[in-house]
Amino acid sequence: MRFDRLTGEWVAVAAHRQSRTYLPPADQCPLCPSVGGRESEIPVEDFHVVAFENRFPSLGPELGELPSPQGATGRELWGSASSAYGRCEVVVYTPEHEGSFASLPFERARTVVEAWAQRTEALSAMKGIRHVFPFENRGEQIGVTLHHPHGQIYAYPYAAPTAARLAERSRAYLDATGRPLMGELLRDETDAGDRMVLAGDHFSAYVPYAARWPLEVHLVPHRQAPDLAA
């Protein structure tokens, strides 16, 4: 981990990931089940969802506290690196080599979401973990190196910058008004209606008013919840 004095952010430098498995043929996929004497990362022939530590992690497996960047210049953190504390996990959705999360049956998709929640709770309880972030990248264009349907979970020793800004603004809004900012945004988007993608019984989804990306949808629960585990 290196501290960027210009932005005030931590940066993970993981050069060893350049040697990770890259787009192997289907019969050599490390995320397919172990069958016929061929061993993979998953030692069973069938499963609904599997989570395990990434063999090529950007963070961890060592746990600990990052040094504080507080100070006049932060220069004491420049020129030397801190251990990249944290955890990186892989979540495999299905034993099938082809497909995606969207192609899973409802019950199987729910199992994956429950695995995200369970891992969020477990990882959040570990020493020094400040932010747990399940995510999925898809497509070679964004750098995916395995085609098998899967996602990842990063457990950071710091709050990632965007999440930290969201939390700071939400906390300030709550202190100033007594109302949750996300709830206000959901109400306003629902009233406007023209950016709503769906309105369910427990969640709604909308394209945000100030969307930053060509494709961006926010999925928001109808009740207040502190994290994915809740």
With residue 4 as reference, give the H or E element that holds it.
strand 2-4
Q: Peptide bond preceding 61: is omega within 30 degrees of 0, i.e. cis?
A: yes
Catalytic-role residue among 97, 131, 147, 150: 150
Active site residue 147: no
Task: Look up residue 87 and give its two tokens.
Answer: 């955890």
Rounded to whole angstroms, what are the CA distances from 155 to 62, 150, 160, 221, 228?
Answer: 12, 17, 10, 23, 13
Rounded to whole angstroms, what are the CA distances from 69 to 12, 73, 76, 164, 205?
Answer: 15, 9, 8, 15, 37
Give SS3 for 79.
Answer: coil
Strands 131-135 and 150-156, by their bridges, are antiparallel
Task: Look up residue 111 and give its two tokens.
Answer: 């199992």
> Which residues are marked as active site?
150
